[in-house]
Structure 1
Amino acid sequence: MKQICKLLILFFFFGNITAQQIDDVDFKSVRANLNLSSELEQVDGMYTVEFKVLRDIDSLFLDAKNIQLTSQVSEYSGIARDFNNIVEERSIKAQIKDGKLWFYDDFKAGTRMALRFTYSASPKKAIYFVDDQIWTQGQGKFTSHWLPSIDDVNDKIKFDLAITAQYPNSALANGRLVKKERFGDLTKWTYSMQQPMSSYLVALVIGNYSKKTETSKSGIPLEYYYYPEDSLKVEPTYRHTKVMFDFLEEEIGFPYPWQNYKQVPVKDFLYSGMENTSLTIFSDSYVVDSIGYNDKNYVTVNAHEMAHQWFGNLVTATSGEHHWLQEGFATYYALLAERDIFGDDHYYWQLFKNAQELIAQEEAGESTSLLNPKSSSTTFYKKGAWALHVLREKVGDSAFKAGVSSYLVKHQFATVETMDFISEVEQASNKDLTAFLNAWLVDSKLPEDAMVKSLKQSEFMSDYFSVDCQLYNEKCDEYVVSDVSDKVKVKVISQMPYQIEASAFQNSLQVRQAISQYVDKIPFQLKTAYESLLNDKSYVTIENALYNLWVNFPQDRVKYLHKTKDIIGFNDHNIRLLWLTLNLNTLEFQPDRKQDALNELIGYSLPQGSFELRMKAFGYLKLLDAFEIRSIESLMAAAQHHNWRFSKYAKELILELETKPVYKTIIDSLKQKQP
């Protein structure tokens, strides 16, 4: 009866997966020889697709959004291994209709066939031409906008790409580089995959990169790409990568399933990172120096995308109802990898922060089932990770790891549903998991009591919960100079920022950063100690301290500006942009160079900068009320940017500027010039 109830529950959420083309044809492999033009933002391809017909049909299709055929479609009686091996060619009737490339013929069950054609595409999504870079993003965007493929994740295909790029650029794709050929100022890079994958995981990157390589304990090449000018940032950016890779292989209990693992940063990426098979693409805002590492680093994103190589790439959820099998698992295993490096306190602290976000979501009335395909990222990622943490506590380490391993072995290079995983853990643990299934996966209500109980197993978290200066009449300032954890000290500072003394500054980087964040009204007796924050190896601390000191001690503004004049900060120039703004508001500092400072600030808002840099520059120009025609023109261009966060910000700021007559005149004039 319990098993019947379980199946009914799952049917309620999962429904029937509609039988589609996968019942008619099994696509085996795709080989594409690609030429890409940054100037035309165009893709031209020579394409071969191999498949097996599963039952008699008169048509089949590939998804092909806004793609045009530039040759006839040819069929081979033998399998074409490359474009020079043409065997018994004959034409096949083909038509592009409603975003699909249809092939019409008398396709007989059991037949293996290969079709060949050339095509051209001018895609508006899924591939992006950003300055001197070209990069892709298939998840949620559909690879079929630039490469004929199958949008259904349930059809896994072996993809081999050959990419021709301008020298000295590098061209990266999934799999192993098997050939590199130079033709004048062009280079052709040929990549080969050994195993199939869903089409959304196909990827390419073209850009000017250097490379550093390590080898995992199991012999897998780990390739770290970087801009040539960022050689000093390679170590802090990719710090702990090999350690995390080795840990995940051992912890998951299934060998890394691909030939190599490459990671490459790109400009103006849509997300933090994307786990394309064997080729993670991530935002270059995570490329940091040794100081930036202390504030914002790539470790968590790195571990998350790495874990996806198993959970999402090796086994892929059949549909949105099971999306937690990808994001929840990647989040959980990233936490485990970080726990291995940073310890138990870090692990429980991250769980606690995730719990806070989930509770806030529930208090806002937005909590949903983990099996609801319309759930938020917070639910899929963080509730999913919590569910796995609690499940492991329930069944024990041994059974949990055995269940995960058998789940991956049984469903490798295939698609999965939630019960595929649950049944393996039930078998490994010899426990019925119906109650767990209902509480954590089916029910939309958050099991807060269970979360608190689990967190309190950590002595560190118990100590953290026990300190609350707002509820208890304690001498909380004593905590800041005691031997308690830094997290407790930060909590105390956040609750009573104006009761700290100079001795509080004799603390770690993290605690000093909290002082810079929460102590914005600086007593004179703390002035000297507070000024020492400008020497910290933290761009966040320096930014906060510079602003707070400038506000609190006007008589020393010139001193503070002199001290910080050469500090840039993160890739978004956080300290430099603040410095320029404070410069423009400090009349006695470099009075004959104010226009230079303003021009530099305006320059950061122009299109050659990253969207994070431009967005921050726009914010300061708004604060200074200093927009002019160049920056407004750049803002209007930003409203059409491919990154939705940036375009949304720009559109809202334009509406705000239009309320001022002087800006509205400029905006109206520029609109008239637009095509």
Structure 2
Amino acid sequence: MRRAGTAVAAVTALALAGCSADDETPRPAPSVAPSFAPGAEGVGDPYFPLYGNGGYDVGGYDLKLTYAPASGQLDGTATITATATQDLSTFNLDLAHLVAREVTVDGLAATTKAAGNELVVTPSAGIVKGRAFTVVVDYGGKPQALGNETLGVGGWLRTKDGAFALGQPESASTWFPVNDHPSDKATFALSMTVPDGLEVLGNGLPGERASSAGKTTWRWVESTPLASYLAFVVIGQYRVSTSTHDGKPMIIAIPESLPADGDAARSLARTGEVADFLATQFGPYPFDSYGGVVLDDGRVGYALETQSRPVYGNTFFVGRPNATVVAHELAHQWYGDSVALARWQDIWLNEGFATYAEWLWQEHEGDRTVQQSFDRVYSGFNWSVPTGDPGPSRIFGDAVYQRGAMTVHALRRTIGDPAFFALLKSWPAEHRDGNVRTEDFIEAAERAGGKDLGDFFEAWLFGKQKPPLP
């Protein structure tokens, strides 16, 4: 009787609802009309509010470019796959000193407007939140670098036989349309056509090379998402060596202007050895290829952790082999590349750990111990600039690099070696291909150490006086 009564009640309820007992098709919720609005002209980074753009997330870039060294002209198309993170009426791409000739969104012509170093794109119809879309930009011009009074020059630089493009915190917008902020990581494919006799180096795995009518097309693919400032291209006359290390391609390029067996070549020849040592500290190497490129150019007095294949200014190798700088840039493959920044304020998470990797490598080589490296810096350091918030003009200063490394070592002394070295591996493993903030690392360190570390990090990252030794 209870079953019969339940069935009668169910049929009655269905009848009242205007349905039959056999109609199990779910009825859609009432639709809400999209509220289309322009994407923000910047991601709102506290240090660089107008870097990058809002309203979408890029999945991948596919560049098909041609460069003429004699004239400095760059031409081609960029295909960008993305997903809307809001209802978009228009959106911006970062593009500096180059002209977009034609833009389509999902195959339909879009209207565009250049606004400084921004390309404002208005598609033929609004793009609803969550929808994937494809942008194709046909563009060209004579690329130029971006100047920054405090941070120096970054981006495209022409050379006597080619060009190169790299830099930090921004560079990508000088040679392709991009969401130029590390919080929006994406895959990257490059096809670059240049005159025969020139080499082209890029990120990731080499693709098939083809020559025709006096020109050669070089292809590179980085299938692991990268931050835009980690994309690079180098065009010129290089000795390129290709080998295999741990089952992956190892590609090293030395300019023909430098000795084939000189200090730069001997330093980069240790790339595999250094990467293997770092893997014992940080866990498995996170990318599909290894290598490095040296630039013989006086404008480049730095090295940069361009993903899978760091680029080094030759100044690091003048008069001596230097595997320590190789250790620094390779450490970034874990700390800074695979695990990238969500905001530039937290750059110590990149540079502090890469500097600490130098100390680990020096100890491994039988040079000074990590503790000795710490003591040398700690004794006379200027503590007035906080590592965790150095300010936009000091993101490449000693507070980020040296004090950052001291913070790492002080953490080691505070939580002990077993917890510390476990953390060195678990952090890049847990956040692989992601973006992080200092708050995320503090939480991970507290889990690893099993205690509250609020006072410790307040003193070492944000205090302006010498913190006590742990």
TM (normalized to structure 1)?
Answer: 0.57
The CA deviation string for residues 466-525 of structure 1, in whole angstroms up to 9 with x for no partner, is xxxxxxxxxxxxxxxxxxxxxxxxxxxxxxxxxxxxxxxxxxxxxxxxxxxxxxxxxxxx
Deviation at 1:271, TM superposition (A): 2.7
Amino acid of the structure 2 residue aligned with 1:223:
I
Q: 1:47 to 1:239 in 2, by over 3 A?
A: closer
Deviation at 1:130, TM superposition (A): 1.9
Q: State which structure, 1 or 2, has the greater radius of gyration over its C-alpha atoms.
A: 1
2:336 corresponds to: 312
In the alignment, is residue 372 of structure 1 matched against residue 392 of structure 2?
A: no
Q: 1:184 to 1:339 in 2, by over 3 A?
A: farther
Amino acid of the structure 2 residue aligned with 1:194:
S
The CA deviation string for residues 64-123 of structure 1, in whole angstroms up to 9 with x for no partner, is 1122122x21233xxxxxxxxxxxx32122222232112213112232111212111323
Deviation at 1:355, TM superposition (A): 3.1
Q: 1:393 to 1:215 in 2, by over 3 A?
A: farther
Whether contact under 8 Å (2:46, 2:343) holds in the other structure is: no
Whether contact under 8 Å (1:65, 1:100) holds in the other structure is: yes
1:9 corresponds to: none
Spell out the pairing of 1:226-375 with structure 2 (5 A cutoff). 226-228=254-256, 230-233=259-262, 236-238=266-268, 240-253=270-283, 255-266=284-295, 267-287=297-317, 292-293=319-320, 297-343=321-367, 345-355=368-378, 359=380, 361-362=382-383, 367-374=384-391, 375=394
Deviation at 1:219, TM superposition (A): 2.7
The share of aligned pairs that are identical, in percent, is 26
Amino acid of the structure 2 residue aligned with 1:319:
R
Whether contact under 8 Å (2:272, 2:290) holds in the other structure is: no
In the alignment, is residue 100 of structure 1 matched against residue 123 of structure 2?
A: no
The CA deviation string for residues 369-399 of structure 1, in whole angstroms up to 9 with x for no partner, is 1122324611100010011011112112221
Deviation at 1:19, TM superposition (A): 11
The CA deviation string for residues 27-53 of structure 1, in whole angstroms up to 9 with x for no partner, is 111111111222322321211111112
Deviation at 1:333, TM superposition (A): 1.4
Deviation at 1:437, TM superposition (A): 0.7
The CA deviation string for residues 312-333 of structure 1, in whole angstroms up to 9 with x for no partner, is 1111222232110011111011
Q: Distance in 1 between the 2:71 and 2:459 partners?
A: 53
SS state at 1:193 partner = strand
Q: Distance in 1 between the 2:248 and 2:133 partners?
A: 34
Whether contact under 8 Å (1:127, 1:146) holds in the other structure is: yes
Q: Distance in 1 between the 2:141 and 2:414 partners?
A: 52
Spell out the pairing of 1:552-591 with structure 2 (5 A cutoff). none
Q: Distance in 1 between the 2:177 and 2:240 partners?
A: 30
Q: Distance in 1 between the 2:48 and 2:138 partners?
A: 33
Amino acid of the structure 2 residue aligned with 1:224:
I
Whether contact under 8 Å (1:335, 1:347) holds in the other structure is: yes
SS state at 1:440 partner = helix
Q: Number of paired residues? A: 409
Spell out the pairing of 1:17-32 with structure 2 (5 A cutoff). 24-32=55-63
In the alignment, is residue 165 of structure 1 matched against residue 194 of structure 2?
A: yes
Whether contact under 8 Å (1:122, 1:146) holds in the other structure is: no
1:10 corresponds to: none
Deviation at 1:54, TM superposition (A): 2.6
Q: Unmatched 5+ residue regions in structure 2? A: 1-44, 146-154
1:221 corresponds to: 249
Whether contact under 8 Å (1:371, 1:442) holds in the other structure is: yes
Spell out the pairing of 1:243-642 with structure 2 (5 A cutoff). 243-253=273-283, 255-266=284-295, 267-287=297-317, 292-293=319-320, 297-343=321-367, 345-355=368-378, 359=380, 361-362=382-383, 367-374=384-391, 375=394, 377-447=397-467, 450=469
Q: Distance in 2 between the 1:118 and 1:50 partners?
A: 15
Whether contact under 8 Å (1:34, 1:162) holds in the other structure is: yes
Q: 1:284 to 1:18 in 2, by over 3 A?
A: closer
Q: Distance in 2 between the 1:303 and 1:20 partners?
A: 29
Whether contact under 8 Å (1:212, 1:225) holds in the other structure is: yes
Q: 1:20 to 1:40 in 2, by over 3 A?
A: closer
SS state at 2:77 partner = strand
Whether contact under 8 Å (2:46, 2:345) holds in the other structure is: no
Q: 1:56 pairs with 70, 87, 107, which one?
A: 87
Deviation at 1:306, TM superposition (A): 0.8
Give the structure with the higher percent strand.
2
Q: Distance in 2 between the 1:283 and 1:338 partners?
A: 21
Whether contact under 8 Å (1:269, 1:282) holds in the other structure is: no
Amino acid of the structure 2 residue aligned with 1:384:
G
SS state at 1:332 partner = helix
Q: RCO greater where, 1 or 2, for CA within 8 Å and sep 6 or more?
A: 2
Q: 1:122 pairs with 142, 156, 172, which one?
A: 142
Deviation at 1:239, TM superposition (A): 5.2
TM (normalized to structure 2)?
Answer: 0.81
Amino acid of the structure 1 residue aligned with 2:290:
Y
Q: 1:90 pairs with 100, 105, 108, which one?
A: 108
Whether contact under 8 Å (2:52, 2:180) holds in the other structure is: no
Q: 1:280 to 1:103 in 2, by over 3 A?
A: same
SS state at 2:312 partner = strand
Give the structure with the higher percent helix.
1
Q: Unmatched 5+ residue regions in structure 1? A: 1-13, 77-88, 455-675
